[in-house]
Amino acid sequence: MSSLWRVACVRIPRFPVGAVWRANQGPRQLGLGLLAEPAAAPQPDDRATHWDERLLALAEGNRLRAVTAAAGRARVRAGMTVTEARARCTRLEILPWDEIAITGALTRATAALIQASPHVSPAGSANGTWWVGATGFEAIGGERTLARTLLTIAQRWHPEARVAIADSCAAARAATWQKALSGQPNTVCVPSGGDAAFLAPLPLAFLPLNEELVATLDALGIRTVGAFAALPVADIERRWGESGLNAWRLAHGDDPRRPVLARLDAQRSVTADLGGSSDIMEPALFLVRAALETLVRDLVRDGLAAGAVAITLHLDGGRQQRDDLTPAETITREVRPAHPLARVAPLFERCRALLSDWALDAPICGVTVTLTNTVPATGEQGDMLDAGWRDPGAALAALERLRSTLGPGTVMRPVLRDDHRAEHAGAWAELVDGDDAAMAADSAVEQNAITTRHDDAAPIAQAGACLSLFAGERTATPAALRLLETPQALRMTCDAEHRPIAGVWQSHTFTVHDSIGPERLTGAWWRTPFARDYWYLRTREAGTFLVYHESDAWVLQGWYD
C-alpha cells in the first residue's frame, strides 16, 4: 500500500571526528564547511587533504570513541585504549572528545539541511544522521531532486555522505548503507510501499533492536529482517511483549518516527551601551556581569548551560568626532569553560580574567555578551548534608579568581611523565583556559588534584594501587609515596645474601622488618645513564621506605604512608 508520508535519511560518516578536528583548526576554519555557499562534491584528487584521510582519533578518558577511515586502515578501532592505538600507529593524532564542538557542528549541519526541507531532526547527538521530511516536493522536481540537494549539502562535510528516501526511517537509514553493500550510488530511493520487501534480505543489525532480542533471535536461527517479519504476531507478543511488537512492526516498514519542523533557537545575546567612552575596563566589567545575570537566568529557565561565551567590545575610535551614526569598531574574543556552566560567578570570573589582559586600542563605548554555545544542563543535584559533594561551578570560580588575582603561572595541575624514575615521573603544568583534559581526568584522584603552586612545593607521586606493598595486607586507600626533594644518603647493613637488615639515616637507626627487592631500573643511556636497584623496606620504627642502591651507595628517596 502506498504511503502518504516519505522520509529522507542523511548520513555523514564519522561526523564527530570532523567536528572536533575543525574546532581545533582555529579561526581560519570557522567559515568553511557546512556554512559555506553550495559547492560541488570534492573530487577524488582532493581526498588526500580531507580530515577523514588523516590519522585522527577521538579519545574520552583512556579509550578511543571514534576514528577516521585512515586510522581504521591502520588497524586502529574505537574502543581501544590510547596506548594500544599508539602501539599500532605511532603517527596517530589523538584529540579529546569535545561535546561542545560536536553539538555546535550538529546545529550548523541541521541549519544547512533546512535549506532543502523545513522538517529536519538529528537522529542522535553524535552519529551524524538526520531525518528529513521528503513529502510534497513533486512541484519542484520530486524526490530525486531533493536527494541530490541533500547530498550536495552533506558532501561539503564528507565526500562519502549518503542520502536515502523511503516510507519509514528504518528503511531510509538501511538504504544509506547500500553503496557499501552493493556499490550503488550515494542516493537511493526505495519505492513507495516497498519498505518491507527492501528490508527483508538485510541482517537484523539494520533494525534498532536491543542486544538481548538480537541474541535470542540468533539462537533461534533468525538472522534476517524478513525471517523475523514472517513470525506470527501472536508468538512475538507472547514471547517478547511490547518491545518485540515494536521491532516486528519496524520489520514490516511500520515506523512511527517522523522528522519534526526544525526550529533553531536565536542566539542568546545582550548588548549594553556605556553612554559615553571609557579608557578603563571597570565599566565594561559591570555591564558584562549584568548581561551574564540576564543570560544565565534564561538558561536555567530552559534547562541549559553555557558552553562558550563571546565578549564583543565596541570601540569608539574617534567616532564622535566624525559622526555619531558611524558604526563603532568591534573586537570579539571567546572563553570556553572546562565544563558547561549555568552559574554567573564562574562565568564572570572567566570573563574578568579575559578582559583584564585585553589591551585597548581605543576607548570602549559598548559591550555585547553572547552565548555562542549552549548544551542541556546535567541536572546534578547536591545534598546539603553530604560533605563529599562538590560544586564544580564554585571550584572553577575559585580557580579563576586566583588566576586573575595572582597572575599566570599560579594555578597548576599535576601531570605524569614517561619516566621510570620516581623523581621524574611527575611534574607541575599550568592549568590553561579550556584545558578539558585536566578538568575531566581519568580518575577521581586527578579530578581533585588541581591546586595552587607554592614556590617550595614539589610534585608528590601517588601510589598506583590500593593494595599494600607487602603480600597479605589490604588498605582502604592507596598508599601515598612522599618523595624527598633531594634524595639523601643512607648507611645500610646487609646480610650474607646482600639484603638490607638495618640502617642509619640522619643519625636515626632503624631495623628492617620485611623487604621487597631488588628491582633493577636502568635507562637514559643517551643522556644521563642510571642503573639502580630499588628496595621497599618496612621498618619497625618509621614505616615503609623507598631506597635504592647505585654505584656502591645507598640512597633514601622517600617513604609510603
User: What is the mean pLDDT of each successive set of 10 residues along the chain, which is 561 residues long?
Assistant: 75 92 62 36 47 92 91 92 91 88 85 89 82 86 89 90 91 79 69 90 82 81 90 85 86 85 73 85 89 89 85 74 54 83 87 84 89 74 53 64 72 80 80 49 39 36 41 54 86 89 87 88 83 88 86 87 75
If you classify domain 7-196 with CATH, what class do you get? alpha beta
Mind listing the pLDDT tens digit for each residue in 390-400? 555 566 666 76
The whole-angstrom separation of Cα 8 and Cα 135 is: 9
Beta pairing class for 426-430 and 329-335: unpaired
Residue 166: how many CB atoms within 10 A of its CB? 29
Helix, strand or coil for residue 168? coil
Give domain 269-376's CATH architecture.
2-Layer Sandwich (3.30)
Question: Left, alpha or beta for 110 (phi > 0: left; psi -120 to 50: alpha)?
Answer: alpha
Q: What is the DSSP string of 102-119?
A: HHHHHHHHHHHHTTT-SB
pLDDT of residue 390: 56
- Percentage of the chain lying above the pLDDT 70 cut: 78
Question: Left, alpha or beta for 70 (phi > 0: left; psi -120 to 50: alpha)?
Answer: alpha
Q: What is the pTM of this model?
A: 0.54
Beta pairing class for 364-376 and 411-416: unpaired
Q: Is the dihedral of CA 342, 343, 344, 345 positive or negative?
A: negative
pLDDT of residue 70: 93
The whole-angstrom separation of Cα 560 and Cα 516 is: 14
What does the domain layout of the chain look like in residue ranges?
7-196, 269-376, 408-452, 481-560
